[in-house]
């Protein structure tokens, strides 16, 4: 194996990210030189994640990969919410975990373990890199109590139902949501005795005579932490205030993150949001929603859109990843099966081209030479422009289509870009894109044998036999794709 070529490409475009707090593109300035510390609100593990939830982590992954590409040492934390998230964000309703445990007659701990595992499988299938730390909410309860104790006297008051945060004690409450304190959108004054409609529970007391499956002793009696408190504590504890970037879905911009910010201000004794660092994180970033018209994203509908459903229908999870990257993270993305099929076709085309290139390049390793610099610069400019993956993808394809260039150098240029896009095209096996839809029983060896027999029949000009073989395969769910421009030959339907 030989290595030749110039030094690796060094990205130099200024990284601009959209900060929801200022509603502006801002050049990224790390809190600690050379580092990027990122916290992403993780899933509430009371059910399988739907693919909309997973869009939030594909986005966080692209952000993390871009920060790494820019040479920053990344520390990424994603939490697992296994307690405290109510069915209504405004302090009303039951704990989602308790509710599911009751419905399934299982312990909350088993529910949490099962759905955390399912979430991690989706993370893996979508090529989302492992964060430096997964913080599990129930493992941080003592720290949550200590945090609440520190802010209680100046910022909180106690009611029978819990310890509440008084949002009027911090400046600029709700700036992130651009909402008024008193009548913020979607708020319901569900708890009697709250001083302001937007006040929220940071500790929820177990009602007298009740026993919750998950409860802890605290200065305010037995109970459980509030969801907003959890994220303030886990982010500050692991990354230190102020850290660089906090991410979540756009819904969190309205209640969850303004409440985290209020707690962070109280904890850090920094009032006013004139300095972004006062909010706990310098930059707050939010992905827009994946939407689906027929309501199948809802976890309560029978066939809800979880990643496994896509797999069962024969779609590689990476086709979904590509679908996410085809839209900018701040745009709404509409899910459709046609859209997913188009993404899969695009992925196959890329993979075929990379496969041919790998054959030409052989074992030689290289760095992308000067011929590729302008492309890499454009790729860098795209991802540095608030993670513009749609443009970055087209640059990737332009390089893929380049003729008369050194195959090894071209592969190296593609590898540098793929490290950010995270599709894994250079190591992806073609077979991984030909998934077996649920219910199809035929084995690959049988298909290959039938196709071989069919090729022989056609060579003998025995078209009746050839057609019969094709029909037999069709009856078993295999569509033979004669003259397939993608060279895929057959697919399971
Ligand atoms: P949850 O498990 O409900 O706490 O949600 C996990 C993540 O998914 C959060 O960051 C949400 O903001 C995000 N999210 C929820 N629904 C969608 C959706 N349809 N599209 C994109 N992100 C979503
Ligand atoms: Zn959170």
The 10s digit of each residue's pLDDT in 393-445 is 999 999 999 999 999 999 999 999 999 999 999 999 888 887 777 777 888 88
Indicate which atom in ligand 1 lies nearest the CA of residue 291: 19
Burial code (b: 16+ CB inside 10 Å, e: under 16) for 244-269 equals: bbbbbbeebbbbbbbbbbbbbbbbbe
Is the confidence at residue 21, as pLDDT, over 70?
yes
Say what the pLDDT of residue 166 is.
Answer: 97
- Which residues in 41-161 belong to E strands, given as ranges? 73-80, 86-88, 92-95, 133-136, 156-159
**What domains, with CATH codes, occur in the chain?**
31-291 (3.40.50.620), 313-431 (1.20.120.640), 441-492 (no CATH)
pLDDT for the residue numbered 90: 62
Q: Using CA positions, which residue lies closest to atom 23 of ligand 1?
A: 53
What's the whole-number mean pLDDT along residues 145-166? 96
Q: Which residue from 44, 56, 86 has its CB within 8 A of the most atoms of ligand 1, so it is best to mutate? A: 56
Q: Which ligand is nearest to the CA of 286?
A: 1
pLDDT of residue 487: 67
Minimum-distance ligand 1 atom for the alpha carbon of 247: 10
CB 391 within 8 A of CB 363: no
C-alpha to C-alpha distance for 416 and 414, rounded to whole angstroms: 5
- Determine whether the annotation assigns residue 269 to a binding site: no
Considering only 4-8, 251-255, 359-363, 416-420, which range has the smallest mean pLDDT?
4-8
How far, in Å, is the centroid of ligand 2 from the Cα of 246? 9
Ligand with minimal distance to 43 CA: 1
What does the pLDDT read at residue 274? 62
Q: Which residues approach ligand 1 with their CB closer than 6 A?
A: 41, 43-44, 52-53, 55-56, 248-249, 251-252, 287, 289-290, 297
Q: Which ligand is nearest to the CA of 230?
A: 2
144, 150, 151, 153 alpha-carbon torsion, rounded to 10°: 130
* Residue-wise DSSP of 61-73: HHHHHHHHHTT-E
Among the atoms of ligand 1, which is closest to the Cα of residue 251? Answer: 12
The rounded Å distance from CA 411 to ligand 1 centre is: 35
Question: CA-CA distance, 119 to 362, in Å (whole number)?
Answer: 37
Q: Please state, for a pLDDT cut of 90, what percent of the chain lies above it.
A: 70
Distance 103 CA to ligand 2 centre (A): 25
Decide if pLDDT at 184 tops 50.
no
Mean pLDDT of the chain: 90
Distances (CA, A) of 351 to 11, 175, 317, 322: 25, 45, 15, 12
Residue 299 assigned as binding residue: yes
Among 73-87, 89-103, 163-177, 364-378, the least confident range: 89-103
Closest CA to ligand 1's atom 14:
53
Q: Is 156 annotated as a binding residue?
A: no
Which numbered ligand comes closest to the C-alpha of 41? 2
Q: Whose CA is nearest to atom 6 of ligand 1?
A: 43
Confidence grade of residue 31 (pLDDT, cut at 50, 70, 90): very high
Whole-number pLDDT of residue 366: 86
């Amino acid at each position: 194996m030989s290595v030749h070529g110039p030094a690796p490409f060094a990205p130099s475009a200024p990284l601009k990210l959209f900060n929801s707090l200022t509603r502006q593109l801002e050049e990224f300035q790390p809190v600690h030189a050379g580092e990027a510390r990122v916290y992403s609100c993780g899933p509430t593990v009371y059910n399988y994640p739907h693919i909309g939830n997973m869009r939030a982590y594909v986005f966080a992954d692209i952000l993390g990969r871009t920060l790494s590409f820019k040479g920053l040492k990344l520390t990424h934390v994603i939490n697992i919410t296994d307690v405290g998230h109510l069915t209504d964000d405004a302090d009303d309703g039951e704990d989602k975990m308790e509710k599911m445990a009751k419905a399934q007659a299982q312990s909350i701990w088993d529910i949490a373990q099962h759905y955390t595992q399912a979430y991690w499988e989706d993370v893996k299938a979508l090529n989302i890199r492992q964060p430096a730390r997964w913080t599990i909410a129930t493992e941080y309860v003592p720290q949550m109590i200590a945090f609440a104790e520190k802010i209680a006297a100046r910022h909180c008051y106690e009611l029978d139902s819990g310890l509440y945060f008084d949002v009027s004690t911090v400046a600029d409450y709700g700036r992130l949501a651009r909402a008024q304190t008193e009548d913020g959108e979607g708020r319901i004054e569900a708890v009697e005795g709250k001083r302001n409609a937007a006040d929220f529970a940071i500790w929820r007391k177990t009602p007298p005579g009740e026993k919750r499956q998950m409860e802890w002793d605290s200065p305010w009696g037995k109970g459980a932490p509030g969801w907003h408190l959890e994220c303030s504590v886990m982010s500050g504890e692991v990354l230190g205030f102020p850290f660089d970037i906090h991410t979540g879905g756009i819904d969190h911009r309205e209640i969850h993150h303004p409440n985290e910010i209020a707690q962070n201000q109280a904890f850090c004794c920094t009032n006013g949001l004139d300095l972004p660092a006062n909010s706990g994180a310098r930059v707050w970033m939010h992905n827009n929603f994946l939407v689906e018209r027929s309501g199948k994203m809802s976890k309560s509908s029978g066939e809800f859109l979880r990643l496994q459903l896509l797999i069962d229908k024969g779609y590689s999870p990476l086709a979904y990843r590509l679908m996410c990257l085809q839209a900018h993270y701040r745009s709404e993305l509409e899910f459709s099966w046609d859209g997913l099929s188009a993404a899969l076709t695009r992925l196959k085309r890329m993979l075929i081209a990379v496969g041919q290139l790998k054959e030409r390049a052989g074992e030689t390793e290289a760095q992308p030479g000067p011929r590729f610099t302008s492309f890499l610069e454009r790729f860098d400019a795209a991802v540095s422009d608030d993670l513009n993956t749609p443009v970055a993808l087209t640059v990737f394809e332009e390089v893929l289509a380049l003729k008369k260039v050194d195959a090894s150098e071209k592969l190296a240029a593609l590898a540098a870009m793929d490290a950010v896009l995270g599709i894994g095209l250079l190591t992806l096996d073609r077979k991984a894109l030909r998934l077996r839809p649920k219910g199809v029983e035929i084995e690959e060896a049988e298909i290959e044998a039938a196709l071989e027999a069919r090729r022989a029949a056609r060579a003998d000009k025995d078209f009746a036999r050839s057609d019969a073989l094709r029909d037999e395969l069709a009856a078993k769910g295999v569509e033979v794709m004669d003259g397939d421009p993608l060279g895929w030959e057959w697919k399971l339907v």
